[in-house]
Amino acid sequence: MGHPVNWFQISGRESGPLADFYTKAFAWKMGPSPDGSPMMMVAPDKGGIAGGIAASRDGNANVTVYIGCDDLEEHLRQIEELGGHTAMPPMELPGGYGHIAGFTDPAGNWVGLWQSPKKEKVAKKSAGKRKKAGKKAGKKKTKGKRGKK
């Protein structure tokens, strides 16, 4: 299984002027963060990924990509073995949006990791099993009806 880049974040001293710039330059559709944080959420266009525009914690401009993974701790361990360094230990996102962590690669680039909420995976799997079970049940009923005719 690959691990796609599934989120980007563009940060600077102030988020408002940045959000205005990207809206005008690229016609990005943005809205407020559902968790009430000051980040502006960028809706993904066809073929693109979602992202955010925010004020950076240290006031410096930066662009960060986040890579999806199933186990933050395991990936950080592997990254350390390969010469990277944990820059931000795993932390839970507000509003049930999963967990994030960060590392620096051997060249010093800061890269984020994102792990989806566990309950979401369970809910999706359960829904998929119910659909399959319903289809199987429907097929059995159909076969039974055909056999009786």
Q: Going residue by residue through the chain (149 aa), what tens digit of pLDDT does each one get? A: 589 999 999 999 999 999 999 999 999 999 998 888 889 999 999 999 999 999 998 889 999 999 999 999 999 999 999 999 999 999 999 888 899 999 999 999 999 999 999 754 434 444 444 444 444 444 444 444 444 44
Residues 61 and 125 in one domain: no
CATH, residue 83: 3.10.180.10
The encoded tokens of residue 87 equal: 């820059």
Q: Residue 98 phi/psi, 5° resolution? A: 100, -150
Residues 29 and 66 in one domain: yes
Residues 135 and 63 in one domain: no
For residues 68 and 113, what is the distance between their CA atoms, to the nearest angstrom?
6
Residues 133 and 112 in one domain: no
Range of the domain at 135: 120-149
Residues 91 and 140 in one domain: no
Predicted model pTM: 0.73
| pLDDT for position 61 | 94
Residues 27 and 95 in one domain: yes
| pLDDT for position 54 | 94
| pLDDT for position 148 | 44
Residues 115 and 132 in one domain: no
Residues 21 and 39 in one domain: yes
Number of domains, the chain = 2
Residues 109 and 139 in one domain: no
50 and 10 Cβ atoms separated by less than 8 Å: no
Dihedral (Cα; 18, 20, 24, 29), 10-degree rounding: 100
> Which of these, 121, 102, 116, 118, lies nearest to 62 by C-alpha position?
102
Residues 124 and 106 in one domain: no
